Structure 1
Amino acid sequence: MEGTSLYLPIVILLMQCSPSSPVTVSSNRHKVEVREFSDAVLSCMFHTERDQNPRIEWKKKGKGVSFVYFDGQFKGPFEGRASIEGATVTLQRVTQDDAGEYRCEISAPLDSVNLGETNVTLKVLVPPHTPSCEIPSGAVTGSVVQLRCRDQQSIPPATYSWYKDGQQISPPRHTNATYLINARIGILEFKSVAKEDTGRYSCLASNGVGPPKMCEGKRMTIEDVNVSAVVAAVVVVCLVILICGCGGYLLHRNGFFSRELLLSNVNYIPPPQESTDFKHTQSFML
């Protein structure tokens, strides 16, 4: 007993001097991904040293820092569509405006370390929308043709596949293929179109969030170059040039464009007209 009583003050002193756990803040999910118009849970858990009633704040980072939850109330666009349990916040029917980085802050004035924080990133996923498609109605054989497809709203960005007459066009398997497909930016390019490329084309956008969406199909017709029409047009142009040249030559030969004729026409001054009252004036003077 005497030995125990000797060590007891030392044990008590060590307990008083041992550091206590200050305020700590953590999250069990630092990256949250939810579909648009669904609820998002932003987790925040904390432990305090002595303060049993710490101050809880949520802020959103952007161009500046705005309050989400402050002084026991939700602020701004979150008012009326968010709830809190402990320090964990649930945002209801999130949109793209809600996406971003959030910070949970716990302030415990009675603790030795009186401030702790953790960050949670919210990503709002958007299913594909009907893509806009640029499909030419026609082209001539041998020309380079591009078909374009784009969905500006899907998150993450959509990937694209092309269809001809309802059948998916497979990506080319070798470098000598007559066409290329860029699934990331939605381009189908024909290096040299042929008549067999004629058909009804459409594009499908997908990103794994919601059901894929396809644009309305459009027919593209490939035709051969009309050689007869081209030759006829060239002949007509040559005849017009020949006729104009011959006509100009004949006019020049007949002196129509001579320098003397042009100068005489420019410098010609008509003679003054005689006064109709000349005789009357003379008789008056006599």
Structure 2
Amino acid sequence: MLYTRHFGIVISFSPYSNFVRWVLLSRFQIRKLRPKSSLFSKTAFQVRVKKTDAKPLYLKHYTTRLPWWPSAVYPMDSKCHSDLIFTIIILEKTGCLTGAVNLKSSNRNPVVQEFESVELSCIITDSQTNDPRIEWKKIQDDQTAYVFFDNKIQGDLAGRAELLGKTSLKIWNVTRTDSAIYRCEVVARNDRKEIDEIVIELTVQVKPVPPVCRVPKAVPVGKSATLHCQESEGYPRPHYSWYRNDVPLPTDSRANPRFRNSSFLLNPETGTLVFSAVHKEDSGQYYCIASNDAGSARCEEQELEVYDLNIGGIIGGVLVVLAVLALITVGICCAYRRGYFINNKQNGESYKNTGKPDGVNYIRTDEEGDFRHKSSFVI
């Protein structure tokens, strides 16, 4: 005789449980037969729980009717038993809360070049509120400003940004000043957890402009020399590389046998190329390239000449200078001896006009040939 039995299972979850989706499957195995009987007398029950990434079924409970066992007859000496096994497959979403607003983003660290467009992804995955409140904020230099508030774009993004898909933010013609942290905030009043937010860091890359290069025109052999390269527009900060006659220079001349006759160090962070002592082989056309993830730019070629010191010419020049100084000294001495530097003085005494006393007239006549005075008194 065979019979069936109804067996029900109800599994419930707390609203604050991490398990939000699950599906119930069933299977059975025959392992033991009660001696001297063709029917199962007892059934063992097990529940197995495991996580899976399979597509879930939205069930709050599941009730099934299972047969006791199908008709089967085994030899009396067989040793088997039966296990009724329920396998519960539970999809777990860590941190999820049933009946709570939850957000996600397809890209939390977007990178875009200047003057392109970018979408800041903010997607509502769970919410019981039909019309949640959406806000976007920009955090830059420890300052927080509204980007989207009261259902409109605010601040410096006005006119070049809009809301996509209810919550995502799209920005056109981005500039370097748009590099910042953006926060998407959603308030759902009808959910158990009303508020959720997601943070997105936007990086705007800027291509370098042609750098400013400074190369000395001529340096004597054995002397030190420094070449400079500087660029101030690129973002992220560019790295620098130097070229001589279109050949890239290593950061250290000692690391490359090709430059064993040179002695220089290149700093790719600052763009300086320092020669501790130049050689004739260091002469050539030099230029610098500044590059980052957005692109690169180079300066114009400049020539560096390395020349030998002419010791004979230097000595001859010194002798010429000394000879010229000697001639000048002799000329000055001769002029001094001849009296060109002494003031000529008139011989004798100089005539001096004396003051006239009152009532005395000085008259000079032709007969006297000299001064003669006549006095007249006024009474």
1:66 to 138, 141, 145: 145
1:185 to 249, 270, 278: 270
SS where residue 254 of structure 2 aligns?
A: coil
Match of 1:114 in 2: 194
SS where residue 279 of structure 1 aligns?
A: strand
Q: Deviations over 1:22-41 (max 9, x none)?
A: 33333332211111122211
Q: Compute the displacement of 1:81 (Å).
A: 2.2
Q: 1:77 & 1:91 partners in 2: Cα distance?
A: 11
Match of 1:25 in 2: 103
SS where residue 110 of structure 2 aligns?
A: strand
Q: 2:119 & 2:291 partners in 1: Cα distance?
A: 26
The TM-score with structure 1 as length reference comes to 0.75
Q: 1:17 & 1:124 partners in 2: Cα distance?
A: 40
SS where residue 283 of structure 1 aligns?
A: strand
Greater C-alpha radius of gyration: 2
Q: Say whether residues 1:150 and 2:234 are aligned partners.
A: no
Asked whether the equivalents of residues 161 and 186 of structure 1 are also in contact (C-alpha less than 8 Å), the reply is yes
Opposite residue 207 of structure 1, the aligned amino acid is N
Range that drifts further, 96-105 or 65-74: 65-74
Q: Say whether residues 1:124 and 2:204 are aligned partners.
A: yes
Match of 1:55 in 2: 133
Match of 1:285 in 2: 376
Give the number of equivalent residue pairs.
266
2:285 to 159, 182, 200: 200
Q: Say whether residues 1:213 and 2:304 are aligned partners.
A: no
1:46 to 103, 124, 134: 124
Q: Compute the displacement of 1:120 (Å).
A: 0.8
Q: Compute the displacement of 1:100 (Å).
A: 0.8
Q: 2:328 & 2:191 partners in 1: Cα distance?
A: 102
Q: 1:88 & 1:271 partners in 2: Cα distance?
A: 112
Q: 1:229 & 1:275 partners in 2: Cα distance?
A: 73
Match of 1:138 in 2: 218
Asked whether the equivalents of residues 163 and 202 of structure 1 are also in contact (C-alpha less than 8 Å), the reply is yes
The TM-score with structure 2 as length reference comes to 0.59
Q: Compute the displacement of 1:282 (Å).
A: 6.0
Q: 1:79 & 1:207 partners in 2: Cα distance?
A: 30
Match of 1:4 in 2: none
Q: 1:82 & 1:169 partners in 2: Cα distance?
A: 45
Match of 1:86 in 2: 166
Asked whether the equivalents of residues 104 and 117 of structure 1 are also in contact (C-alpha less than 8 Å), the reply is yes
Range that drifts further, 51-60 or 81-90: 81-90
What are the ranges of 5 or more consecutive residues in structure 2 without an aligned counterpart? 1-9, 18-96, 338-349, 364-371
Asked whether the equivalents of residues 361 and 376 of structure 2 are also in contact (C-alpha less than 8 Å), the reply is no
Q: 1:196 & 1:48 partners in 2: Cα distance?
A: 70
Q: Compute the displacement of 1:47 (Å).
A: 4.8
Name the CA shift for 1:44/1:17 in 2 (closer, same or farther; >3 Å). Answer: closer
Superposed CA RMSD in Å reads 3.9
What fraction of aligned residue pairs are identical, expressed as a percent?
A: 29
> Relative contact order (alpha carbons < 8 A, sep ≥ 6): 1 or 2 greater?
1
Name the CA shift for 1:16/1:68 in 2 (closer, same or farther; >3 Å). Answer: closer
Name the CA shift for 1:48/1:272 in 2 (closer, same or farther; >3 Å). Answer: farther
1:228 to 312, 322, 331: 312
Q: Name whichever structure is richer in helix by fraction.
A: 1
